[in-house]
A and B are shown apart, each in its own frame.
Chain A
């Protein structure tokens, strides 16, 4: 039978996690659903939850005065939305908006952080895994800054 625990175990960021840790994390998880265009997080709001997307797609957006709204990343199936919950001041850095009906598992950050305080090994394990996600995101952003599709200077024109 499909339980929250079995679903969590299939999400790449939790692959290979000890069953007892999965059980602890499951205690902080719940199913959520967002309609198209619904905001999941807004810049500056408390990052009390993060999400594991099961179905649908979410745009991570920046709204800058005079520049309008820009989508800088999309998050889809089996991917993680949000890592601001890990680090003080626990606030969203970007807006996150569902592009279509989106189903996800929401993880209660306060609940998890309390469990990390009680079991630092669990906290360390999760921090390692999320550090990799953050590294991947930084790398992806570097590639976006590199302008991969721009015309090189030295080609015939």
Chain B
């Protein structure tokens, strides 16, 4: 007799995952390597999706998955320690447990982008939700045209995934440009904002899908720069961050106009979400 299929987990009930490793990325950002319980393996997700992470006794926050997508025995979440929950997550050590609900939300439109060029614009911690997309694009490199990654951070010490960036810059089939707001002597790279890279980068707006992630203000100015280059808002996708609580579009905490960011997003075509960003009351 074959075993009965396991029921999918209740989306409202956190499942305890074990911390395999906590890796420091920068002075304030770290990556949690989480191992699901055996009955939940393999844990599948798509680039752009997020999990709700519960630091027991402290609280729950939405965090994008930052590791290679597909099915994995280990889940990666890259987190900036800025509040009580994220700091509690940063204090976890190997063997500790985290409550996980998910994966939730819409993914980056990588299937729709097949056959086209892709430009990825990331700002600060925004590279984390885009990292699985870069992995996926490189995994299926032949399915895409030109791939460009533009990444901006405050200073060189704020750059995430420096080993990945070095490895990606070494490839001939990926154009990577990194820029920081300010730098001390010793930095030989570019200085300025990530938006300044857009006019300088060869792009064909008609043939390119843009994936943008970072703080809302950074995405706003990035979209403005892309539109100035001739991009249609239907070709620009952004990942929104709001006060997500339930993760499944029930509680309404993350409502943005007619959308629940946790369910209809976090990845949206800009043509859909853009108008709501200008409404002061939202």
Contact = CB atoms under 8 A, between A and B. Distances in A.
Interface of A: 57, 59-61, 68-74, 76, 99-100, 140, 143-144, 146-152, 154-157
A60 B196 CA distance: 15
B269 to A, nearest CB: 21
Interface of B: 61-62, 80, 82-86, 123-126, 152-154, 158, 181-185, 187-196, 200, 214-218, 221, 241-244
B182 A144 contact: yes
Given A72-B191, A148-B215, A148-B218, A155 B196 contact: no
9 contacts: A57-B190, A71-B183, A74-B189, A74-B190, A148-B195, A149-B218, A151-B82, A156-B244, A157-B61
Contact of B191 (A74, A148, A155): A74
B86 A149 contact: no
Contact of A148 (B61, B123, B189): B123
Given A140-B193, A157-B83, A157-B86, A149 B242 contact: no
A71 B191 contact: yes
A147 B184 contact: no
A72 B183 CA distance: 7
B190 A149 contact: no
B184 A70 contact: yes
Contact of A143 (B125, B183, B193): B193
A147 B182 CA distance: 11
Contacts of A100: 188
Nearest to A72: B182
A157 B193 contact: no
A57 B192 CA distance: 13
A76 B243 CA distance: 41
